[in-house]
A and B are shown apart, each in its own frame.
Chain A
Amino acid sequence: MAGSQWELPPELCCRPMAFVALTGLDVVYNAVHRAIWDAFCANRRADRVPISFKVLPGDHEYPKCRTKRTSYEWYIPKGIVKTGWMNKHLNLVPALVVLFYELDWDDPQWKEKQSECATKVEIVRTSLQGRNTKVAVVLIQKKTPLPPGEDLVASERASALCSSCDLSGKSLFVLPHTDHLVGYIIRLENAFYEHAQTYYYTEIRRVKSHKEFLNKTTHQLLFVRHQFKMAFLSELKQDTQNALKYYRAAYSLVHELRAHETNMLEIKTMAGFINYKICRLCFQHNTPLDAIAQFRKHIDLCKKKIGCAELAFEHSAWMSKQFQSFGELFDEAIKLGLTAIQTQNPGFYYQQAACYSQDRKQMAQQLCQAGTTYPSPDPLDTQSGGLDFYGQRPWRQGHQSIDPTDPEKEKLGILALQIKERDVPHSELIIALLSNAVAQFKKYKCPRMKSHLMVQMGEEYYHAKDYTKALKLLDYVMCDYRTERWWPLLTAILTTALHCAYLMASVKDYVIYCMELLGRASTLKEEQKSRIEKNLFKVLMNDIPEAESECDQSSVGAARSLWTDRMALSGSNELTVEMQDYIPFIQCKARFQSPSFHVDQPIQLQVFLRADCPHPVSFSKLTVSLSNQEYNQWCVVESSGQDSMTLLPGKPRCYNFSFVAKTEDVGKKVEMTGIEMMLGGDSGRCVFLSWRGAGGDAASTQEALQASRSSRRWGRGNEARQELDWDTLTLQHSTMIISRVPRICVRLSHQPPALTNEMFCISLTVQSQEDVVAKDVKLTAGLKPGQEAGLGQTTHVTLDGSSVCDDNAPALLTDVPLGDLTPGEKLEKCVYMKCVSTGPRIFLFHVAYSIDTAVEGRHIVCNCHKDETVTVETVVPFEVSVKFVSTKFEPLEQVAVDIPFLLMTDILSSSPWPLLLSSSSLQLLTVTSSTPQLQSQLQQVVLQTGESASECFCLRCPADTSSSNTVATGQYVVSWRRKCSNADSPLIQTTVTLPHVILESVPLYIYADLPSFGRVRDSLPVRYHIENRTAQVQEVEIAVDPSDAFMFSGLKQVRLRVLPSTEQQMLYNYYPLMAGYQTLPQLNISLPRCPTSSSPALRRFLPQRIFVKPQGRQPDDASIAAA
């Protein structure tokens, strides 16, 4: 690859590591040695010391050390840094040579082996003559060594070996070949690392010591060289802080060098190297801002150092490389965890690199004229095949004076370089850099930058004549610029794309780009548009378009023959272009005249077309497709013969279509699915311009929005009415077909609210206002669908009002036939609703009929319908409350078995209408009536709002129902209807479930027989009955308390026994002393056998008071008796 001249050398880009050579290892045949070597080089992770190991034979020849210079007085350096120097210190001159030797302390042939080892050390030493490289010996032993100090033989022999090999004790190691090999190896390599560090330290000191011999006039190059060497050695020593310091010093020294045309390249090359190292170290030290600052400084310093004008492309190539390698460094640092931001990311550097590569290409095109032959002999050839110093010219290596030695040679050299540059695939380089930049900008949320770079890539592909790729890229970004509405940029891209399409002879693309370039978004000048339009028509006539300007001649020739082939090809001369995605030169807007049409009206549709191109456009066909394809036949307009349809530039034209909807489409939407316009004709090529929906293109939505905001709309007077305002035209892409307007009258009458369970009557009157017979009149009545879910079950609708409907009646009666209606005829119908639950309901009355009518001469049968809804509230007609009371009208919590009690019902009307209670009845369960015949006490009672009706029943719980604690008592049924309703309307039965009662059984039932009133000083006989309700004999103690109001005769205190299920009677004669309500003398009753039943509990059935009448005067006796 020709660009490789500018690549940074790999030894510069790698991370320098201390170089340690291992000798005496036979890694091929000796398994133990192999294992040792593997332990050294396998798994070199970050936690191991940075050393690069190499296995070398024991007699390896290391690079010869040149004799040290004692004086620099007459020395003139030939260059800054030799090309081989870095590699030499990375891979050739070791910091430490380690000799491996198999020797146990108790080896029987110790003496011989010791001297053999000493010889081997000597060989290595000789080979390293003059270098400071350290030598160390590792004894590979089979036995595990004893702890230090215990093995006397070992320590004695070790010191003997050291002295015979002339080694210090620190350079002799023992490696027992046992289980813990890796552990030993790690300890060994740490020791090696220390030795290596010492070596590099002394090397740095040595280089530094040269400084005092240098003078500033002749040895400027050496200042740079020494700083560079110290920096590099510091890096080998892993002292990156000092390395950075030395590199920085070297960098400023490079720029102090006297720069002239002959050494400019060398200076720039070295400056580039040093800059690379500085930036790399800064990123490594996590100071990216320093790296960026250094790079900026570097670029600012070097930007203007172009050097030889004939080789200006070299400078651009070098600049491009600077940016690229900085971008790569930056990117690498990001991969290691650095965070970049939108305005400072590697993308910018790649982009700038691409930019310089573009410059390079341009300069190369200017400077490298074709037609010259490559000079021979090759001036770029050197004897060694490479250069001695970085950045020098092959034909004058080591030359450091201002003027070139040989102007002829110089010329040839430049010519050779120029010819070489011609073969560089510039576009390829640029595209690679751009695509790197695109990837970065994508990552850092710069969509527009990305688009811009993609345009550049597209253009580069265009220059590289890869039109397919160019079009693909340009096509991709065009959308972005279109949505952003950057017309100048879009036009520029389209122009390039048009060139590509022309050169490829891609008819469809060519047509599309022409159309868009003619459109209103294009910022091209009128004459260019005119030329493009002529070309477009040529293509439509199946002719070859004129060549685009700015295309080079050779490509135009190729394109012309491609076009000829394309034209000769028959068959594929029809193509469809989707307009929605572009901003084409013909605009289309379509609308239905109204958002809805009645089925008996013709549907009207308008298509507006406008051409934005400079010349009139004629087309041959315009079709509108609709969602129901049966209508499509009505929406076609075709040019007939000579009368072709023409659009004048800037003048909108309107095409009207109208058709009659089908009756089965009532309630459906008719949508425009597309509009198609045919350009060209059968003779040549035809292009179908196709708009989805109701027209409009990529820009029209925004334009419509802008137009709607416009203040001009209000200002327009009537004089502009004839002129259609294109911008304010709105699309109406669908219309609803709705049924014909009904001409009947539907009236409802009813008496709200409805009462629960009642047959609520709504009477419906239908009157026809049609001119002809309305046929098949049908009624749908009932609960309007779509209300609360539960309402369907609690609402029943029927037409039969004579009886209460059951739960099977539906909530909605559908399609009740009502026959035909002649004009003016009236029809009445009653619909009954039964609502089981309260709350509001919406009832729907839907009257449908069909009628014959004619639209535009076509007879159609229209279905019409009229809906009426009514909201009806349902309320409870009355509330029933029930309570149980004792015969003394005291509320009962529990009912005693076999003792009569009272049931009281209370009906409170809440209906706004008077209610007629027809009857009521009790359906008893468990309990029985105490009265022989239960008769309703509220027959034919009329209740107004708020009035209430009560009933009272005497009941008794039979003795044999003591099983359960609570028992159901039965139901209370009320039959009723509205008073105002017809006499024959059905009665509604409302059933109220009576509450359960809690039963109790009493052991002793005491009741009294006494007259309803007494009279003062008149005997009042009272008989107490004491019934034993238990199965045991009960002993009863009865005492009568004295009373102020009565005298009495009878047992005052008695103790008696009552046998099971029998009764005892006690008779007292009370003699009232005072008139009025008087408390009867109290009976104190106790059951000694049953202490739980207290006296008040037993006494509750007894009357407590009695009314005592005063004694009448004698003469009035008769009248009192009568009262």
Chain B
Amino acid sequence: MFHICLLMFSPQNYPLYIRSVPCQNELKFHYTVHTSLDVVEEKVSAVGKSLADQRELYLGLLYPTEDYKVYGYVTNSKVKFVIVVDSSNTSLRDNEIRSMFRKLHNSFTDVMCNSFYNPGDPIQSKAFNGIVCGMMVQTG
């Protein structure tokens, strides 16, 4: 069983949505993801300086640790998505991760379109949850 963990952050970097499979050792995931924000911030600010309009949303592999690979993605409104997978998980290549992010972004846009959703609140949408679960089952 591979670990996979998905997090989303507001532009102020607090978590909007957290889901990890399996659930044990969640705290360690939290720490890993939280520290990965350093790299995200750095990348976002570096990109902002040069080519602001043609920004690639997918940030790629943020940094390798012994145990996990951490991938990042930033929307134009500075909402950050992070996916963490086991280092030993070789089935997920860059392209798969990229399409996962794109899928997430689409369903996040749907969440934002909900006029009852207040930007910045934790996401509790069932539809979003369903899509995330589906994605995790598929890859996990």
The residues of A with any CB-CB pair to B shorter than 8 Å are 342-343, 348, 352, 355, 445-449, 452, 455, 484-486, 488-489, 492, 702, 706, 709-712
Complex A-B: 22 CB contacts under 8 Å: A342-B42, A445-B38, A445-B42, A446-B35, A446-B38, A446-B39, A448-B34, A448-B38, A449-B38, A484-B12, A484-B13, A484-B14, A485-B13, A486-B34, A488-B18, A488-B27, A489-B27, A489-B30, A709-B119, A711-B118, A712-B116, A712-B118
Query: B44 at the A/B interface (Cβ < 8 Å)?
Result: no
Which residues of chain A are within 8 angstroms of B56 by Cβ–Cβ distance?
Answer: none
Query: B134 at the A/B interface (Cβ < 8 Å)?
Result: no
Query: B110 at the A/B interface (Cβ < 8 Å)?
Result: no
Do B35 and A709 have beta carbons less than 8 Å apart? no
Query: B85 at the A/B interface (Cβ < 8 Å)?
Result: no
Do A488 and B118 have beta carbons less than 8 Å apart? no
Select which of B18, B34, B116, B120 is within 8 A of A484 by beta carbon: B34
Do A342 and B34 have beta carbons less than 8 Å apart? no
Per the bound structure, the CA–CA distance linking A448 and B40 in Å amounts to: 11
Which residues of chain B are within 8 angstroms of A710 by Cβ–Cβ distance?
Answer: 118, 121
Not counting A446-B39, A448-B38, A492-B27, a sample of 11 additional A-B residue pairs whose C-beta atoms are within 8 angstroms of each other reads A446-B38, A484-B13, A485-B13, A486-B15, A488-B30, A489-B27, A489-B30, A489-B34, A709-B118, A709-B119, A712-B118
Select which of A342, A455, A702 is within 8 A of B38 by beta carbon: A342
Shortest distance between the CB of B71 and any CB in chain A (Å)? 13
**Known contacts A342-B38, A706-B120; is A485 also within 8 Å of B27 by CB?**
no
Do A486 and B30 have beta carbons less than 8 Å apart? yes
Select which of B35, B62, B115, B116 is within 8 A of A452 by beta carbon: B35
Q: Total interface residues on B, using CB and 8 Å?
A: 25
Which residues of chain A are within 8 angstroms of B26 by Cβ–Cβ distance?
Answer: 488
Which residues of chain B are within 8 angstroms of A712 by Cβ–Cβ distance?
Answer: 116, 118
Which residues of chain A are within 8 angstroms of B63 by Cβ–Cβ distance?
Answer: 343, 348
Shortest distance between the CB of A493 and any CB in chain B (Å)? 10
Per the bound structure, the CA–CA distance linking A500 and B18 in Å amounts to: 29
Which residues of chain A are within 8 angstroms of B18 by Cβ–Cβ distance?
Answer: 488
The residues of B with any CB-CB pair to A shorter than 8 Å are 12-15, 18, 26-27, 30-31, 34-35, 37-39, 42, 62-63, 65-66, 115-116, 118-121
Residue of B nearest to A445 (CB): B42
Do B119 and A452 have beta carbons less than 8 Å apart? no
Number of A-B contacts (CB under 8 A): 62
Do A486 and B14 have beta carbons less than 8 Å apart? yes
Per the bound structure, the CA–CA distance linking A642 and B38 in Å amounts to: 55
Question: 3 closest pairs, A vs B, by CB?
Answer: A485-B14, A446-B38, A449-B35
Per the bound structure, the CA–CA distance linking A486 and B27 in Å amounts to: 11
Do A711 and B116 have beta carbons less than 8 Å apart? yes
Do A702 and B12 have beta carbons less than 8 Å apart? yes
A contact face: mostly helix, strand, loop, or mixed = helix
Which residues of chain B are within 8 angstroms of A452 by Cβ–Cβ distance?
Answer: 31, 34-35
**Known contacts A485-B14, A486-B14, A489-B30; is A448 also within 8 Å of B37 by CB?**
yes
Do B38 and A706 have beta carbons less than 8 Å apart? no
Shortest distance between the CB of B51 and any CB in chain A (Å)? 20
Per the bound structure, the CA–CA distance linking A709 and B112 in Å amounts to: 14
Which residues of chain A are within 8 angstroms of B62 by Cβ–Cβ distance?
Answer: 343
Residue of A nearest to B114 (CB): A711
Per the bound structure, the CA–CA distance linking A709 and B117 in Å amounts to: 10
Which residues of chain B are within 8 angstroms of A449 by Cβ–Cβ distance?
Answer: 35, 38
Which residues of chain B are within 8 angstroms of A709 by Cβ–Cβ distance?
Answer: 118-120
Per the bound structure, the CA–CA distance linking A449 and B35 in Å amounts to: 5
Do A342 and B39 have beta carbons less than 8 Å apart? yes
Residue of B nearest to A303 (CB): B66
Residue of B nearest to A453 (CB): B35
Per the bound structure, the CA–CA distance linking A489 and B14 in Å amounts to: 11
Which residues of chain B are within 8 angstroms of A702 by Cβ–Cβ distance?
Answer: 12
Do A448 and B118 have beta carbons less than 8 Å apart? no
Which residues of chain B are within 8 angstroms of A343 by Cβ–Cβ distance?
Answer: 39, 62-63
Which residues of chain B are within 8 angstroms of A455 by Cβ–Cβ distance?
Answer: 31
Residue of A nearest to B118 (CB): A710
Residue of B nearest to A323 (CB): B66
Shortest distance between the CB of B17 and any CB in chain A (Å)? 13
Which residues of chain B are within 8 angstroms of A342 by Cβ–Cβ distance?
Answer: 38-39, 42
Per the bound structure, the CA–CA distance linking A710 and B13 in Å amounts to: 19
Shortest distance between the CB of A614 and any CB in chain B (Å)? 22
Which residues of chain B are within 8 angstroms of A711 by Cβ–Cβ distance?
Answer: 115-116, 118
Per the bound structure, the CA–CA distance linking A93 and B40 in Å amounts to: 56
Residue of A nearest to B36 (CB): A448
Which residues of chain A are within 8 angstroms of B12 by Cβ–Cβ distance?
Answer: 484-485, 702
Shortest distance between the CB of B32 and any CB in chain A (Å)? 8
Which residues of chain A are within 8 angstroms of B65 by Cβ–Cβ distance?
Answer: 348, 352
Which residues of chain A are within 8 angstroms of B42 by Cβ–Cβ distance?
Answer: 342, 445
Per the bound structure, the CA–CA distance linking A149 and B9 in Å amounts to: 86
Do A352 and B35 have beta carbons less than 8 Å apart? no
Which residues of chain B are within 8 angstroms of A706 by Cβ–Cβ distance?
Answer: 118, 120-121
Shortest distance between the CB of A704 and any CB in chain B (Å)? 12
Per the bound structure, the CA–CA distance linking A613 and B78 in Å amounts to: 34
Do A447 and B38 have beta carbons less than 8 Å apart? yes
Shortest distance between the CB of A672 and any CB in chain B (Å)? 28
Per the bound structure, the CA–CA distance linking A711 and B118 in Å amounts to: 6
Per the bound structure, the CA–CA distance linking A355 and B65 in Å amounts to: 11
Which residues of chain B are within 8 angstroms of A445 by Cβ–Cβ distance?
Answer: 38, 42
Shortest distance between the CB of A459 and any CB in chain B (Å)? 11
Which residues of chain A are within 8 angstroms of B39 by Cβ–Cβ distance?
Answer: 342-343, 446
Per the bound structure, the CA–CA distance linking A449 and B37 in Å amounts to: 9
**Known contacts A489-B27, A489-B30; is A448 also within 8 Å of B14 by CB?**
no
Do B31 and A489 have beta carbons less than 8 Å apart? yes
Select which of B35, B116, B120 is within 8 A of A448 by beta carbon: B35
Which residues of chain B are within 8 angstroms of A488 by Cβ–Cβ distance?
Answer: 18, 26-27, 30
Residue of A nearest to B115 (CB): A711
Shortest distance between the CB of B65 and any CB in chain A (Å)? 8
Residue of B nearest to A344 (CB): B63
Do A352 and B30 have beta carbons less than 8 Å apart? no
Residue of B nearest to A712 (CB): B118
Per the bound structure, the CA–CA distance linking A348 and B39 in Å amounts to: 13
Shortest distance between the CB of B9 and any CB in chain A (Å)? 9
Shortest distance between the CB of A678 and any CB in chain B (Å)? 33
Shortest distance between the CB of B105 and any CB in chain A (Å)? 22
